[in-house]
Amino acid sequence: MSVEAFQQQELAHIERMIVELERVPAHWHGVGAHNPVMQREYWRQRIHALMNSPDAADSVVRQASALLERLAGSSNGRGHAAGPRDF
């Protein structure tokens, strides 16, 4: 598997998890407070790690930026109603 294919796979996984975070009602986020995957910051860190990789492809950086925007929007109460790959 190429580095770019691995990064694309990681982004797809992160996107699915963001969709799940958007789907879960905000008052339930406290239930998973001790579970890192329920924290937006965990996913931000993973996205930044991909973006800051020395071999990150331009397409990966663009998709990662879109996911960061999506995370920011959902954490500001402006959840994204659409499904995966809507960026």
Output the average pLDDT for the chain: 83
85 occurs within a structural domain: no
CA nearest to 41, candidates 23, 53, 55, 29: 29
86 occurs within a structural domain: no
Residue owning tokens 């963001």: 18
Tens digits of per-residue pLDDT, 37-62?
A: 888 899 999 999 999 999 999 999 99
- Look up the domain containing 19 and give its range: 3-24+32-75
Residue owning tokens 């580095």: 3
57 occurs within a structural domain: yes
pTM: 0.76
81 occurs within a structural domain: no
CA-based R_g, the chain, Å: 13
